[in-house]
Amino acid sequence: MMNQGLLPSLDLVRQTLAADIAYTISRMQVLERLPGNPLGIAYRWFDDRAVALMGRLPGFARVVGLDVGHEHHVEPLVDWYRAHDIKPSFELVPGMYDASLGRELARLGFCQSVFHASLIGTPTKAPAQIDRDIEPVTTAAAMEDYLDAYVAGWGIPAQHHAQFKANVRPWREQPGWSLYLARVDGRPAAAATLYVQGGVAYLADATTDPAFRGRGLHSALLRRRLHEAARAGAELVFSGAEPFSASHRNMERAGLRLQFMRAKWTVAT
């Protein structure tokens, strides 16, 4: 991982936000194709590069790409979500925020409640150590092991495992996606996704089964995906983490550096 010459810029922010949006929509489209669209997946674009995402799952109720001058969009979006009894998160980033956005969100009952770190880097073409116990998910059997590690890592309740797995098995076939599975003594232990679009790679959705944490699997999955991002021709990589978390520290150790802190505004309680 080499970051020489990668200087902070609003252009980089926009590139990473565009890839974030594309990945999230790709993920939501898998669920949108379920008969009857039971999770209420919907999208509302404005000014071409900003979007309100809707779904009856918290991670899909997001407004991404709000920019200076967008305050007039806020109230209609709030009304749209409220009509569907969904509480959204409005995500604001440095360089694309001014006080008018904050005042409008506050007027409508929102407050800044969470920070989320966005980290950025460039992959190196140099040979990388490839952990033998990490494999790309290329078969149906490997996908089942990936899903076992995924539901354990994210703490999805056991009664929802079967439905969740049925809903997301198509991930393996999504354009631009590569899935990776880490094993310990042959057992599925951790899972992660690499998404590549237009020369930008997103290190997404990594999780480790609690029974296998503390063994360096998150870092190993980072190394593998950074290597594969370079092989895929990506010129830029990014990811996100809770500030100062173990994931944040692992990303810094892998060579990524803080790009910005995303401020999430949610309904004040």
For residue 107, what are the CA distances in angstroms to 15, 74, 77, 117?
30, 10, 14, 26
Report the greatest alpha carbon distance in the chain. 55
- Give me 22's structure tokens: 């594309």
pLDDT of residue 108: 97
Q: What is the mean pLDDT of residues 182-188?
A: 95
Q: How many CA atoms lie within 13 A of 260 on its CB side?
A: 20
Lowest mean pLDDT among 124-133, 168-177, 244-253: 124-133
DSSP state letter for 139: S
The phi, psi pair for 3, rounded to 5°, reads: -115, 5
pLDDT of residue 57: 86
pTM: 0.93
Please say if the pLDDT value at position 187 is more than 60.
yes
Q: Is residue 125 a contact partner of residue 99, using CB atoms and an 8 Å limit?
A: no
Please say if the pLDDT value at position 111 is more than 80.
yes
- Mean residue pLDDT of the chain comes to 93
Please say if the pLDDT value at position 31 is more than 70.
yes
| Domains, in order of start, for the chain | 10-117+263-267 (no CATH), 134-234 (3.40.630.30)
Kind of pairing, strands 236-241 and 110-121? Answer: antiparallel
The phi, psi pair for 4, rounded to 5°, reads: -60, 135
122-132 burial: b if 16+ Cβ within 10 Å, else e: bbeeeebeebe
pLDDT of residue 128: 52
Q: How far apart are the first and last CA of the chain?
A: 42
pLDDT of residue 2: 47
Confidence of residue 4 (pLDDT cuts 50, 70, 90): low
Confidence of residue 186 (pLDDT cuts 50, 70, 90): very high
Please say if the pLDDT value at position 7 is more than 90.
no
- Residue in the structure block whose two tokens are 């009952």: 109
Q: What is the pLDDT of residues 52-106, one digit of tens each?
A: 999 998 789 999 999 999 999 999 999 999 999 999 999 999 999 999 999 999 9
